[in-house]
Amino acid sequence: MPKSEHFSPPLPEIVGTAPAMQDVYRLVRLAAPRSANILLIGETGTGKEVIAKAVHKLSKRADGPFIRVNCGALHENLLESELFGHIKGSFTGAVENKTGRFEAAHGGTIFLDEINSTSHKLQVKLLRVLQEREFERVGESRTIRVDVRVIAATNTSLEQAVEDREFREDLYYRLNVMRLSIPPLRQRKEDIPELARAFLIRAQRQGLAARTFDKSALDLMAAYDWPGNVRELENLVLRLAVLSSDSVITVMDVEREMRMGVAEQTGASLGFEAEIEALLHRYVMGDLVSGGEGEGSNVHESVVNRVERPLIRLALSVTSGNKVRAAQLLGMNRNTLRAKINALGIAED
């Protein structure tokens, strides 16, 4: 794209100069120095958290904490405790005092992902924090005041949720002071080759062997619509970095992993037993192995990997990305979890 007076360079840690991203870059630079709340709207996997971090880094709060909360990952009661903290004995399992995420974000930014999933009860408490900058921990009457900037994100229409009385209108207007719409990857295909190369470099920095893409592989990726957006692309590249046997990733490598991804998505709708049956049939038909010794071990490995990937993702989601807690939940040490995250190509949000 030729540069002009309207051209905006990418933001920190963001790759791509596609025209569809120009308004995003411009609005982020406009909004970041101000204190107004921001609402990010975009499909799952478009990189809303990356945009939120860019806002934080360009703001006057850059030296303060950036705290992320996935509001859709926890039950209402657990989410209330996660956001506002609790005192010992306030409910079953509250064995010690806990500092909430809003308190931890004091002087910085809090990013509330999947804000659309919050209950009406929690929306009332969020509205108070946005209006009064104060709250109480669960089980405590002492009021805590905080200075935080709120960036919220949603992958659904909050306007429709307001109309359906699933989301408070007053909270919606408090959040929707500055509104940024993040385009899906299919609307910024010019960026796909650069994104793929960036993810490959990231994989190399994580200790994987150095690899490159040939042009046909990049062309194929650029032609695909990526329903899972940037996250899907990153997962594919990480799998290629782990599984490709050559230093140059070819179009055949990409096609193979794309077929695997489609098969996984299709299998998820069939139920676990049907999914495993379909996997076994693919081995029998020779789609995954060329035959000979080791087929059984390959089947076992594929099944284990298929189960482990969503299980690890769920553990990371429930623990808000805390690998120590996720590893404890899964009954493994942190180093083992890190190795599995890399080997299975699990993107960390």
The domain spanning residue 85 has which CATH number?
3.40.50.300
| Domain identity same for 251 and 177 | no
Residue 4 lies in a domain: no
Residues 78 and 137: their CA atoms lie apart, in Å, by: 12
Mean pLDDT, residues 6-35: 87
Residue 298 lies in a domain: yes
| Domain identity same for 107 and 165 | yes
Q: How many domains does the chain have?
A: 2
The CATH number linked to 220 is: 1.10.8.60
Mean pLDDT, residues 243-252: 89
| Domain identity same for 85 and 74 | yes
Structure confidence at residue 261 (pLDDT): 61
Could you read off the pLDDT of 191-245 as tens digits, one per residue?
999 999 999 998 888 888 889 999 999 999 999 999 889 999 998 998 898 888 8
Indicate the pLDDT class of residue 315, thresholds 50, 70 and 90.
Answer: confident
| Domain identity same for 168 and 294 | no
Beta bridge partners of 109: 66, 149
112-121, 180-189, 233-242, 258-267: least confidently modelled range: 258-267
Token pair, residue 343, equals: 């080997």
Could you read off the pLDDT of 53-103 as tens digits, one per residue?
999 999 999 999 999 999 988 777 788 889 998 888 777 777 788 899 999
Could you read off the pLDDT of 233-243 as tens digits, one per residue?
998 998 898 88
| Domain identity same for 220 and 339 | yes
> Where do the H-state alpha helices sit in the chain?
19-31, 48-57, 76-84, 101-104, 120-132, 158-163, 169-175, 192-205, 215-223, 229-243, 251-268, 272-284, 295-318, 323-330, 334-343
Domain ranges, residue 104: 19-183
- pLDDT above 90: percentage of residues in the chain: 51
47-56, 71-80, 165-174: least confidently modelled range: 71-80
Which of residues 183, 210, 232 is at a domain's end?
183
Residue 11 lies in a domain: no
Which of residues 156, 183, 210 is at a domain's end?
183
Tell me the longest C-alpha to C-alpha distance in the chain: 69
| Domain identity same for 231 and 334 | yes
Residue 6 lies in a domain: no
| Domain identity same for 255 and 312 | yes
| Domain identity same for 243 and 313 | yes
Residues 331 and 328: their CA atoms lie apart, in Å, by: 5
| Domain identity same for 210 and 284 | yes
Residues 216 and 64: their CA atoms lie apart, in Å, by: 44
Structure confidence at residue 273 (pLDDT): 52
Which of residues 135, 165, 183 is at a domain's end?
183
DSSP states of 120-144 as a string? HHHHHHHHHHHHHSEEE-BT---EE
| Domain identity same for 258 and 292 | yes
Contacts for 259 with CB less than 8 Å, ≥ 6 apart: 287
Residue 90 lies in a domain: yes
Single out the residue of 151, 155, 174 nearest to residue 117, CA to CA. 155
| pTM score over 0.75 | no
pLDDT at 268 over 70: no
Indicate the pLDDT class of residue 288, thresholds 50, 70 and 90.
Answer: very low
Single out the residue of 154, 108, 149, 157 nearest to residue 130, CA to CA. 149
Residue of 347 and 296 predicted with greater confidence: 347
Indicate the pLDDT class of residue 269, thresholds 50, 70 and 90.
Answer: very low
Amino acid at 300: H
